[in-house]
Amino acid sequence: MEKYTNTQKAAILLLSVGPDVSAGIMKNLDEKEIEAITKEITSLRKVTSNVKDQIMKEFHQLAVDANLVSYGGIDIATDLLKRTFGPDKAAGFLKRMDGSADDKPFKFIQNVEQMQIFNLLQYENAQTIALVLSYLDPEKAAATLSAFPSERQIEIAMRIAMMDTASPIIVQQVEEVLEEKLNMTSSQMHDAQNGIDSIVSILSSVDRGTEKNILDTLQEEEPELANEIKQRMFVFDDIAYLDNRSIQRILMDVQNQDLPLALRAASQGVKDTIFRNISKRREESLMEELSSTEPVRLKDVEDAQGRIVSVIRKLEEEGTIIISRNGAKDLVF
């Protein structure tokens, strides 16, 4: 078959599937992609049916590879195994899978250094990374997520949050590939975790900058998903919704240097809540510090906010305070 560029292949694919399907695909492309593909469509001459068939097959294989982990279920996975290995080998594989259901997937990664995990995953697609992180300890998953560029952090976080139950067979296939890459032996399967639970645990452990970046972008792109995540975790801006007694208890454990730094980039609602619960003298001192024109690094502000949120989460874990998780932004003893 004559060699074609990816853009030319895309143009031929759109011509092959018909105008209605092509229109639906084009809606999901950006302006530059549409312009490039349209240019190729206008310049195409005769394309043989053999070329069209080959490109359709290539596209189908890419789609299968890209979505192998995204879609599944035991029936689909069983059919995939039968088609790949035949019914006898597929049956043996499924039997071995059933016998290992109590073992947690990706157990071999739990004791691996965070940077090794990042190196192992950095060239994988976002869905594979999301699957692996959803099984890791939240602290290790958070450190790994933070190592990715901000654009990929958002993509991976969205994949985790939107993840449904993955077939145990598909999970094992991913695990085996990664085990081989890392040249290790390990364990196998476990029930898939809920995506929202996973991303809440991870975001609760990342630094404030990473957390804010992901949540802000999710709010723009997937507002319902972002709101559901926020309802299940406590973020710095939620301080504005806390009652006075809770604020007073929290301030007892907050470091003196963290409060003025954290309030530098706080909303007016958060500031008002804090000011209501401190002495007049301390309020005047805080106001004086906040009015300072001396610049501070945004990272230092976000770190201070993160430490205050850690205090609140720690008090909740200890049972000293209780954060409502029903969507009503309140905190009670």
Q: What is the pLDDT of residue 72?
A: 40
Do residues 245 and 310 share a domain?
yes
Global pTM value = 0.39
Q: Give the start-end residues of each E strand in the chain.
A: 322-323, 331-332
Q: What CATH number has the domain bearing residue 309?
A: 1.10.220.30
Q: Do 241 and 298 lie in a common domain?
A: yes
pLDDT digits (tens, 9 = 90+) for 164-195: 666 777 788 888 888 787 764 333 323 334 57
Select, from the ranges 22-26, 119-123, 202-206, the one with the highest average predicted confidence (pLDDT): 119-123
pLDDT band at 260, cuts 50/70/90? Answer: very high
Residue 171 within a domain = no
| pLDDT the model gives residue 323 | 66
Q: Could you say which of 122, 150, 166 is where a domain stops?
A: 166
Mean pLDDT score of the chain, rounded to an integer? 75
Q: Is the dihedral of CA 141, 142, 146, 149 positive or negative?
A: positive
Amino acid at 170: I
The answer to the question of residue 299 being in a domain is yes
Quickly state the pLDDT bin for 12 (edges 50, 70, 90).
Answer: confident
pLDDT confidence band for 325 (50 / 70 / 90): very low
178 in a domain, yes or no? no
Is residue 284 within 8 A of residue 254, CB to CB? The reply is no
Whether 61 and 112 map to the same domain: the answer is no
For residue 192, being part of any structural domain is answered with: no
- Contact predicate 262/308, CB 8 Å: yes
Report the number of distinct structural domains present in the chain: 3
Asked if the model's pLDDT at residue 226 lies above 70, the reply is yes
Q: How much is the pLDDT for 187?
A: 32
Q: Indicate if 242 and 313 belong to the same structural domain.
A: yes
Kindly list the distances between the CA atom of residue 99 and the CA atoms of 68, 102, 110, 180, in Å, as whole numbers in the listed order.
Answer: 23, 8, 22, 21
pLDDT at residue number 271: 92
Query: What DSSP character marks residue 254?
Result: S
Structure tokens that stand for 309 in this block: 């949120």
For residue 93, pLDDT over 60 is answered with no
Rounded to whole angstroms, the Cα distance separating 207 from 139 reads: 11
**DSSP states along 232-280:** TS--GGGGGGS-HHHHHHHHTTS-TTHHHHHHTT--HHHHHHHHTTS-H
Q: Say what percent of the chain tops pLDDT 70.
A: 76
| Residue numbers of the domain that contains 287 | 234-318
Residues 54, 30: Cα–Cα separation, whole Å: 26
- Beta-bridge mates of residue 322: 332
Residue 101 lies in a domain: no
DSSP at 273: H
Residue 252 covered by a domain:
yes
Domain assignment present for residue 159? The answer is: yes
In a domain, 71, yes or no: no
Nearest Cα to 172, choosing from 189, 184, 160? 189
Last residue of a domain, one of 14, 44, 66: 66
For 234-253, the pLDDT digits (tens) are 778 888 888 888 899 999 99
